[in-house]
Amino acid sequence: MIERKQTRQLHVGDVAVGGGAPISVQSMTTTKTADVDGTLAQVYALAGAGADIVRITCNEVEAAQGLAEIVPRSPVPIIADIHYQYRLALAALEAGVQGLRLNPGNIRKEEQIKTVAREARDRGVPIRVGVNAGSLDKDLLAKYGSPVPEALVESAKVEVRYLEEVDFEDIKISVKHSHVPSMIESYRLLSEAVDYPLHLGVTEAGPPPSGLIKSVAGIATLLNQGIGDTIRFSLTADPVEEAKAGRQLLEFLGLRERKGLDLIACPSCGRAEVDVIEVTTKAQVALEAENLPIQVAVMGCVVNGPGEAREADIGIAAGRGKGHLFIKGQVVRVVPEEEMVEALLDEARKLVEEGVESRLAHAEANAEELAKAARQQLIEIQGDANRSDERRRRVAEVAKSE
């Protein structure tokens, strides 16, 4: 069980952040904000994929005007992303956004920052201090020579001090870096220095799969140390993929309740009687379309499959021309190979609707006997790859020897 660091709590709209609240998933639209309908369509897609909060750029007056129409129609809280022009932050607040993101690297005048903070304070709107290695203040770059973790943390602390000086404390902070070890160290240092909630991300992670790997490496490392209150995967891809990945990571770590599919599959081996990759791909497509919140296993052989995947809610294991459908390791049906995916989908739907005990009670009477006979037949044809009998005999001999 991950023991999370206790941080202060704030609210982005109706989403609690920090203070033990569930870790939230964020993403960012890629549309022009002035395109209200297009932006809203993407916001709805992100919310459907698991985003709790969505950030939208506010880089011109027309964007701020767009926000005024987007915010009241959005299914999730909206954060305005502000660079360079502090008056656009004021305009975004007037538009009704539930949060601001300010980049200390490009809004440097202290009084401008404090003006925004006072207005946000009076409206009860939180601010994220969004430090980014790629846009670090020039003075700090000169001082440290490069965007090292210490430089990012100092930038964040300077900005936080400006906010605190006008009694503004609804603050969350990010110190993003594209270099994963530097990103991890930046957040570790920051976590030791402040108790404000932290927003995690590897900036400019790039396209999948490398972008996903870098993001997971950085974000998961910190989450497992109890650091982090919100996350974003910054991918060069459809932002819906960001939201999906963020949600799945939290579910896999046990930090959020599962709402989507968790598909596990064996890597295949010489014992497999089917193309495991093909079956798994077909099963994933069919099950994801249903958005069933269960763990499903696709195993390449009936000899070890049901046992190895007994913790899965439901699964299918392939034999010679047959598929063994199992629930919590118990075979409930034996179906023709060409019907494996269809049978798996059908039983998965029923499992979600009726529950495990009900579906086990509906198991075919001779399913286990058929499965046992098929496993034995496969062992006789292929041999026992695990050499179970031989290994048991040798273990017994060692145990009995003097």
Do 43 and 147 lie in one domain? The reply is: yes
Do 370 and 237 lie in one domain? The reply is: no
* Residue numbers of the domain that contains 369: 262-382
Residue 391 located in a structural domain: no
Residue 395 located in a structural domain: no
Do 209 and 313 lie in one domain? The reply is: no
pLDDT at 217: 98
Residue 396 located in a structural domain: no
Q: Check which CATH number belongs to the domain holding 67 and give it.
A: 3.20.20.20
**Three-state DSSP string of the chain:** CCCCCCCCCEEECCEEECCCCCCEEEEECCCCCCCHHHHHHHHHHHHHHCCCEEEEECCCHHHHHHHHHHHHHCCCCEEEEECCCHHHHHHHHHHCCCEEEECCCCCCCHHHHHHHHHHHHHHCCCEEEEEEHHHCCHHHHHHHCCCCHHHHHHHHHHHHHHHHCCCCCCEEEEEEECCHHHHHHHHHHHHHHCCCCEEECECCCECCCHHHHHHHHHHHHHHHCCCCCEECCCECCCHHHHHHHHHHHHHHCCCCCCCCCEEEECCCCCCCCCCHHHHHHHHHHHHHHHCCCCEEEEECCCCCHHHHCCCCCEEEEECCCEEEEEECCEEEEEEEHHHHHHHHHHHHHHHHHHCHHHHHHCCCCCHHHHHHHHHHHHHHHHCCCCCHHHHHHHHHHHHHCC
Do 273 and 190 lie in one domain? The reply is: no
pLDDT at 256: 94
pTM: 0.84
pLDDT at 304: 65
Count structural domains, the chain: 2
- Per residue of the chain (402 residues), give pLDDT as tens: 789 999 999 999 999 999 999 999 999 999 999 999 999 999 999 999 999 999 999 999 999 999 999 999 999 999 999 999 999 999 999 999 999 999 998 888 999 999 999 999 999 999 999 999 999 988 999 999 999 999 999 999 999 999 999 999 999 999 999 999 999 999 999 999 999 999 999 999 999 999 999 999 999 999 999 999 999 999 999 999 999 999 999 999 999 998 888 898 887 666 666 788 888 899 999 998 988 889 999 987 766 667 778 888 999 988 777 888 999 988 899 888 889 999 999 999 999 999 999 999 998 888 777 777 766 766 666 655 555 667 778 787 887 776
Residue 98 located in a structural domain: yes
Do 323 and 244 lie in one domain? The reply is: no
Q: Which of 226, 252, 278 is the last residue of a domain?
A: 252
